[in-house]
Amino acid sequence: MKRKSLAIDMDGVIADVEAHALQIYYERFGKLWTKEDASGKPEKDLLPDGYFRKFVLEPGFFRSAPVMDGAVEALQKLQEHYDIYIVSAAMEFPLSLPEKYDWMTEHFPFISWRNLVFCGDKSIISTDFMIDDHPKNLDHFSGQSIIFSSFHNFDINRYPRINNWEEGLILLTNPLSPLLI
């Protein structure tokens, strides 16, 4: 029997770019913004004066992002059940390509370079499942979409939701999960 395939977004799903941007803002300006402060805002409004976008355009931003809690262990376990592909719309930030590749090889060395997809439009992805924090990437996906909770998507209710990687493991490995029945 052919294994199911699972596409997983990088930024906001396995790389905690939001926490990273909030930390940089605090270090530079002394103002502590929390994810709760940003809750419900579009990504461009995560920080005042467009600083989120300014930060992601800086060299080194993606390379130094922290790993989302539980992501490494979850992906190792999910690899026992699925062919995993890491999918990033990295073309939006072309300087991020080598940084994202290096970040993946450091934090997820068990994911082959053959399973890294850097693209501009995720509608080309045709796996069985896709986990992403942006509904725009899930809206045209032909497989089963799963939204990963983030400050900018709390009002989205059209997809099964996971709030963390512990929930992701349960949803994708429990034989009684509604997605697997």
List b or e across 106-131, with b for residues whose CB sees 16 or more CB atoms inside 10 angstroms: ebbeebeeebbbbeeebeebebbbbb
100 in the same domain as 30:
no
**Token pair 């977004």 in the structure block, residue:** 9
pTM of the model: 0.93
Token duo for residue 133: 């924090």
pLDDT at 36: 74
d(CA 108, CA 17): 16
Rounded to the nearest 5°, which phi and psi values hold at 25? -60, -45
Query: How many C-beta atoms surround the C-beta of residue 54 within 10 A?
Result: 14
Domain count, the chain: 2
93 in the same domain as 71:
yes
Quote the percentage of the chain above a pLDDT of 70.
Answer: 98
| Residue 180 resides in a domain | no
Q: Which domain holds residue 41?
A: 17-56
108 in the same domain as 91:
yes
168 in the same domain as 89:
yes
71 in the same domain as 151:
yes
| Residue 178 resides in a domain | no
pLDDT at 181: 59
Q: Is 28 left (phi over 0), alpha (psi -120 to 50) or beta?
A: alpha
As a whole number, the mean pLDDT across the chain is 92
Whether the per-residue pLDDT at 43 is higher than 80: the answer is no
pLDDT at 38: 73
Token duo for residue 166: 């512990």
**Token pair 């068990």 in the structure block, residue:** 110
pLDDT tens, residue by residue, 166-181: 999 999 998 878 877 5
116 in the same domain as 34:
no
pLDDT at 131: 98
39 in the same domain as 94:
no
d(CA 142, CA 7): 12
Token duo for residue 74: 């979850």
28 in the same domain as 113:
no
Whether the per-residue pLDDT at 76 is higher than 80: the answer is yes
Comparing 84 with 91, the larger pLDDT belongs to 84
Whether the per-residue pLDDT at 148 is higher than 80: the answer is yes
Scanning 34-83, the segments in alpha helix (DSSP H) are: 35-38, 51-56, 71-78
| Residue 36 resides in a domain | yes
Q: The CATH number of the domain where 168 resides is what?
A: 3.40.50.1000
d(CA 39, CA 35): 6
96 in the same domain as 75:
yes
Residues recognised as catalytic: 9, 11
| Residue 62 resides in a domain | no
Q: 110 and 128 in contact (C-beta within 8 Å)? A: no
